[in-house]
Structure 1
Amino acid sequence: MDALIEPFEPPAPKPRSQPPSRLQVIKTIYRNPIELWGEPAYANPVLKAKMFNESMIVANQPDFIRHILVDNAKNYRMARVRQLVLRPILRDGLLTAEGPAWKRSRRAVAPVFTPRHAAGFADQMLACSERFAERFAGDGGVHDVALAMTDLTYEVLAATLFSEDPDPNSSLAENVARLLDTMGRVDPLDLLKAPEWIPRLTRIRGRGSLNYFRKMVREMIARRQEMLARGEKAPEDFLTLLIAQQGPDGLTEQEVEDNILTFLGAGHETTARALGWTIYCLANAPREREHVEEEVDRIVDSGLEPVKWLDAMPYTRAAFEEAMRLYPPAPSINREAIADDRWGETEIPAGTTVLVLPWILHRHKLLWDRPNAFIPERFLPENRAKIGRFQYLPFGAGPRVCIGATFALQEAAIALGVLMKRFRFDCTQDTKPWPVQRVTTQPLGGLPMTVTTRR
């Protein structure tokens, strides 16, 4: 890093200097949970707290995190509040299922996401990215990059996993935003442990979007089942695989639907958010953007197969990984101890909520130099080994590690290669995003940017 050039520090809440009141806690968790935390959370390896008379531990020590997510993972289930938020949306999809239902789903979807299988999607990812790029006129028009990346990653998902041609008139991006902004946040009644049968009024506005997704999924399943019933050769994709796994010893009909919805509603959303934040950070970091542009120009012009772009573009990958450090797609991992446990001197009684918060972990003062700055060089191959496995968790860890991590990294490299070779993205006077935690780290206010042709 050139000592004369200060790295870009993208917007983020400043840690609180005073503990919030009970009312402030409720309001902040509903509005934006990442604004809740104070200086101790970003400075201590372990933080103990009480919230509404419940014991809570924030784990920032990598070995402690390994204990929770890997070494003693069987003693930890999904925290109740997290499930209250996500299960109404995803039911028994892979992100929310537990016990036998989770094992069935994981076993069913695993073959699609092996690195070898994911590599086979590269050509489709390239074709989708190139078609999508044609929508940008490149004449300096303003586009909301956050919404655009949602559309792009959905189209990649539709083409690769479902062999579907997405409806160009679909309002998917708007429905995703509405769903996460309504049903994808903690309701005050969840914090107060109100019975689940009491309606969460804050989520009523999201039911239309949820019904939109459920209808989309059912229609998709019906089309494929009709094809199979006619004896036609169906694509050997994720959709066909899940339908084939249905039966007495496999997935239930509802689990098939839930898993398709999980990948449609959440599988592309995390990558979309990471791509948007990457483009935003690079737009504010001219030196780093120049490095990316030089790299993508060289690799794309070389004619190298897209399946090899991720390894051939280390700086572009580093910029993407650094954006995921600053704006982790999944900003919180919540677990609850089933039985009493202990790590070192830390006692963990049964029922304790243990929070592994990538938002905090990735900005922790004990783990990172200049933690709030955008410095892609941290993730270059010669520096990557210095970053501990449980210090950086954009895809989680342990048995429930994100099954689509390889898919997402390959997709990101190809999308950035296509888009940043053709276009330059610049902020406008209205580009003032604020990170908010829903299910993912969303840019409140969107990412309006001018898009001009580079060559």
Structure 2
Amino acid sequence: MDMRPEPFVPPAPEPRTVPPSRLEVIRTVMRNPLELWGKPSYTLPWIETKFLKERTLIVNDPGLIRHILVDNSANYEMSEIRQLILRPILRDGLLTAEGPVWKRSRKAMAPVFTPRHSRGFAGQMLAKSEEYVEKYAADHPSGAVHDISVDMTELAFAILSETLFSGEIVTESEKFSDDVDSLLHRMGRVDPMDLLRAPPWVPRVTRIGGQRVLDKFRKVVADTMIQRQKRIRETPDAVPQDFLTLLLQLEGPDGLTMAEIEDNILTFIGAGHETTARALAWTLYCVGQSPHVRDAMETEIDQVLSEGAEPVDWLERMPWVRAAFEEALRLYPPAPSINRAAIRGDRWTSPTGETVTIDAGVTVLVMPWTLHRHELYWEKPRAFMPERFLPENRGNINRFQYLPFGAGPRTCIGAVFAMQEAVIALAVLMKSYRFDVVPGTKVWPVQKLTTQPQDGIPMKVVRRRST
């Protein structure tokens, strides 16, 4: 007899059973695109749809996903609607740049995020996580209620600032989470003009007020660059050899322009830490509803830390902690959609002989949100079951049915960095505290630039043992 408790099923929109009208599509996309998808998106390998005379192919089949994102990736460019949303914010940052600009940027930044280099950040990640736990102890009594989504934004920002910018981002970090939320709320959403493919100069009513927040972010970046350039000129031997210095040294005819450097710094300060922050918050929420998972994680954390293992080894030494984070990434992928458009006509044939024809100009949606909850590929797809990602079970997961960091040439450059950061942060937090869901709390995921909790995640933070 299986004595395992029934797994926790976290909140998410139910698949639609009736297709929405055109007006409902617009309203839903503006409010929360996660609520748009119907039953076929969670049960069929691919679906062809049409909206406002534009054909769209929604792809869930892992083989077809591999074909589009890897094998024939050169035939698929960023979709127009994605760029209409993101480019006003990030311009030529790594997430939005294309062609030669993207190739130069990716090549320039790749050395910073190799697995070997990322492992070198473990000590700084540990120090910042421990500082945050000390802040909990100093500022709040045990049992105080925190908005975990805000807390994890602050922690992830502190880690990113220290590891990639040596703590020299010129901003007031205590207000940073509010600034991020404001920017994403105002700028990181679909506007009706985007759906109509209106050119960028046409005003987006839903983003009125967002420019002020974006200007504030741009000023943070400009001030950070100016401060570091001054140090490079005045004390070149004492300048940190970090991500910020590397980018500034790449300026020149054969490297990046100053505008491109600014865009990439903004990308990492804003979007670069936002994804990890959201995933950490969702992990703590799901673990708080799963006592048997939390027990396994605490036992593992206590054992590894009592043995004095170095933080660089925690990612491999803590399979339950890693699995819980990966399962949260499955249920609440930070990037819930990957949008492409076919440059030329294309064709793919499945192992069973079915053929998919993709005409030039067709929009292709690879949807981690639906793919990760798809009935063809997952047991109990809506349930929080970290066991899926334990070492003995990982072989059952196709590389292209799980895409928290994307795939192909544009896979997330910071994936190893983020995984290591998450395991270290979770281990330090859960060593000293338990995060319990506040009774009556109703958490709801919404898609903006990332998958966010609509009204935060209030949780009671209870001291587990003395630090």
The CA deviation string for residues 241-279 of structure 1, in whole angstroms up to 9 with x for no partner, is 000001001000100000000001111000001100000
Structure 1: 5+ residue stretches without partners: none
Match of 1:439 among 449, 461, 464: 449
Residue 176 (structure 1) aligned with residue 180 (structure 2): yes
Provide the C-alpha distance between the structure 1 equivalents of 2:75 and 2:3, rounded to a whole number of angstroms: 47
Structure 2 counterpart SS, 1:143? strand
**Counterpart in 1 of 2:248?**
243
The alpha-carbon deviation at position 165 of structure 1 amounts to 5.0
- 1:349 partnered with 2:353: no
Instruction: Give the aligned residue type for 1:181.
Output: H
Which letter does structure 2 place at the counterpart of 1:338? I
Quote the residue 2:157 is aligned against: 154
How far did 1:433 drift?
Answer: 1.3
In the TM superposition, what are the counterparts of 1:41-60 in structure 2 within 5 Å? 41-60=41-60
In the TM superposition, residue 169 of structure 1 has moved relative to its aligned partner by 5.3
1:80-135 Cα distance to aligned partner (Å, 9 max, x none): 00000000000000000000010011011101000010000000000000001112
Amino acid at match of 1:60: N
CA distance in 1, matches of 2:435, 2:309: 24
Q: Deviation per CA, 1:47-83: give whole Å up to 9, x if none.
A: 1100111000011000000000000000000000000
- 1:386-407: CA deviations, max 9, x gaps? 1000010000000000000000
State the shift of 1:358 in Å: 0.2
Letter in 1 for 2:187: M
Task: Quote the residue 1:412 is aligned against.
Answer: 422
Within 5 Å, which residues of 2 pair with 1:2-401? 2-137=2-137, 138-165=141-168, 170-233=174-237, 234-344=239-349, 345-401=355-411
TM-score (norm 1): 0.98
Distance 1:346 1:169, change over 3 A: closer
User: Contact 2:152–2:278 (CA<8 Å) still a contact in 1?
Assistant: yes
- What is the one-letter code of the residue matched to 2:289? N
Q: Equivalent residue of 1:355, what SS?
A: strand
Letter in 2 for 1:200: R
Report the Cα distance in structure 1 between the residues aligned to 2:421 and 2:200, rounded to whole angstroms: 38
Cα RMSD, aligned residues only? 1.2
Shift of 1:205: 2.2
**Which structure 2 residue ranges, 5 or more long, are not aligned?**
350-354
| Greater shift in the superposed pair: 2-11 or 239-248 | 2-11
**CA positional deviation for 1:196:** 2.0
| Counterpart secondary structure, 1:450 | strand
- Does the Cα contact within 8 Å between 1:430 and 1:448 map onto a contact in 2? no
How far does residue 3 in structure 1 lie from its aligned partner after superposition? 4.1
Q: Deviations over 1:274-308 (max 9, x none)?
A: 10000000000111111111111111222110000
Aligned-partner Cα distance in 2 for 1:2–1:76: 46
The aligned amino acid for 1:145 is I
C-alpha distance in 2 between matches for 1:199 and 1:332: 25
Matched positions, count: 455
User: Percentage identity across aligned positions?
Assistant: 60
**What letter is aligned with 2:281?**
G
Q: Aligned partner of 1:365: which letter?
A: E
TM-score by length of 2: 0.96
SS of structure 1 residue aligned to 2:396: coil
When structure 1 is superposed on structure 2, of 32-41 and 228-237 the one drifting more is 228-237
Contact map agreement 1:310 1:409 (CA 8 A) in 2: yes
The answer to whether the Cα contact below 8 Å between 1:431 and 1:446 also exists between their aligned partners in 2 is: no
Q: Per the alignment, do residues 302 and 43 of structure 1 end up closer, same or farther by CA in structure 2, a change over 3 Å counting? A: same
Equivalent-residue separation in structure 2 for 1:431 and 1:290 (angstroms): 22
Q: How far apart in 2 are the matches of 1:51 and 1:295?
A: 50
Alignment partners' CA distance in 2, 1:451 and 1:292? 17
Separation in structure 1 between the aligned mates of residue 386 and residue 162 of structure 2, nearest angstrom? 31
C-alpha spacing 1:89/1:164, structure 2 compared with 1 (3 Å): same
* Cα deviations by residue, 1:128-164 (Å, 9 ceiling, x for unpaired): 0000111213510011100000010011000000002
Opposite residue 148 of structure 1, the aligned amino acid is: D
